Amino acid sequence: MPAFSLEPEQTAWCAELRALAAARLRPLADQGEPGHVNRPLLTELGRLGLLERLFTSGALDLCLMRESLAQACTEAETALALQGLGAHPVHAHGSPAQRKHWLPKVADGSAVAAFALSEPGAGSDAAALSLAAEPDGTGTGGWRLTGEKCWISNAPEADFYTVFARTTPGAGAHGVTAFLVPADRPGLAGTALEMLSPHPIGALRFDAVPVTADDVLGETDRGFAVAMGTLNLFRPSVGAFAVGMAQAALDATVDHTRRREAFRGTLKDLQAVAHQVAEMALRTEAARLMVYAAATAYDQGAPGVPGRAAMAKLLATETAQYVVDTAVQLHGARALRRGHLLEHLYREVRAPRVYEGASEVQRGIIAKELYATADHQEAR
């Protein structure tokens, strides 16, 4: 399938998702409390079969889900995405016992997952994390986790965490191990953080939290690869989330500018306004195509996936910021009123430029891939 085109079945599925989000997910989202996990919303996502698709779909389908849901209900999109981010390492690297116990619960919405990578002193530089996994001294091969995690989505309300800890001091990215840590482990505590974006984010404190070899995801000291593999899959879909928000803002702006009377006509009759709307549409479509191309490259196992994923996230999130901001400007003061769609999107759209690698990190990844390719070609 060409990366720039969707099949009719995919287009129809996206329309169905938007309708379901508006009719069945939006009401549940409205009943939720900002900054907290909305378990009824997760249950409904499970009932609709969307959470299970996190483990049966490819990167492009994940992007289509996130984009479609974001157009009608950003809360539902984010709830689905966080389940996928937290549980994908279990799906991809977990033992049969880990998968059997947790994945069905994630799929039906009864267990909340979280991806615990960032720390107070190691956000963009993920290889510098310092949460210590020290041998527990029992001779059984277990560890005790001591330290902090911060900016963790779904914390502290998640039922389990994919936690990345340092098992070999001084080894950089090569000394990190991924662990599956249930929330009820002794010594694990968390606090909620009040953030601009409305989804739940918190900090975790590990006070000699016990973990064993049965809790390892993948291999000891190979956890950084688990983290980067997960991010390579989800970064294009962060872009899809951004595209969905941009499209919602664009649709609202087209409707507003063709109806709003001003200066003896409508806003769309003003060339300055019409050209701004055209620019919004141009950038949104360009970002969408790059997201689809990056996701298709991932699904096909094409070379250069990290760079493509970084480009997709970077372009789409920066584009969404521009489109939503322009939409607010063209709507005027009404868009800043609490409860307006654009007021909601204005708060939502800022965070994706930071999480899962800030825009500056994405540029670094792109440059690294470019120079590595050039060095490889020169060496041939």
Structure tokens at 179: 């662990």
Residues 87-100 have pLDDT tens digits of 999 999 999 999 99
Burial 58-95 (b: 16+ CB within 10 A, else e): ebbbbbbbbbbbbbbbbbbbbbbbbbbbbbbbbbebbb
Q: Is 369 tagged catalytic?
A: no
Answer yes or no: is pLDDT of 140 > 90.
no
In the DSSP assignment, the letter for residue 24 is I
The secondary element (H helix, E strand) that includes residue 145 is: strand 143-153
pLDDT of residue 379: 84
Q: Please report which confidence band the pLDDT of residue 129 belongs to, taking 50, 70 and 90 as the band edges.
A: confident
Answer yes or no: is pLDDT of 115 > 70.
yes
Amino acid at site 336: L
Answer yes or no: is pLDDT of 263 > 50.
yes
Domains of the chain: 8-107 (1.10.540.10), 113-220 (2.40.110.10), 225-375 (1.20.140.10)
Residue in 119, 318, 356, 369 annotated catalytic: 356
Structure tokens at 110: 């009864």
In the DSSP assignment, the letter for residue 139 is S
pLDDT of residue 378: 84
What one-character-per-residue DSSP string does 336-360 give? Answer: GSTT-HHHHHHHHSSGGGTTTS-HH
Tally Cβ neighbours within 10 Å of residue 55: 16
Round to whole Å and give the CA distance between 80 and 163: 19
Range 20-42 average pLDDT:
95
Q: Strand, coil or helix: what is 35?
A: coil
Answer yes or no: is pLDDT of 152 > 90.
yes
pLDDT of residue 103: 97
Pick the most confident of 276-290, 300-314, 338-352.
Answer: 276-290
pLDDT of residue 293: 94
The secondary element (H helix, E strand) that includes residue 286 is: helix 271-300
Mean per-residue pLDDT over the chain, rounded: 93
Range 355-359 average pLDDT:
87
Q: Please report which confidence band the pLDDT of residue 68 belongs to, taking 50, 70 and 90 as the band edges.
A: very high
Place of tokens 């919303």: 41
Answer yes or no: is pLDDT of 27 > 90.
yes
Answer yes or no: is pLDDT of 3 > 60.
no
Structure tokens at 276: 């701004």
Answer yes or no: is pLDDT of 380 > 50.
yes
Residues 293-338 have pLDDT tens digits of 999 999 999 988 999 999 999 999 999 999 999 999 999 999 999 9
Answer yes or no: is pLDDT of 167 > 50.
yes
pLDDT of residue 1: 45
Residue 230 makes CB contacts below 8 A (sequence gap 6+) with: 85, 88, 89, 92, 115
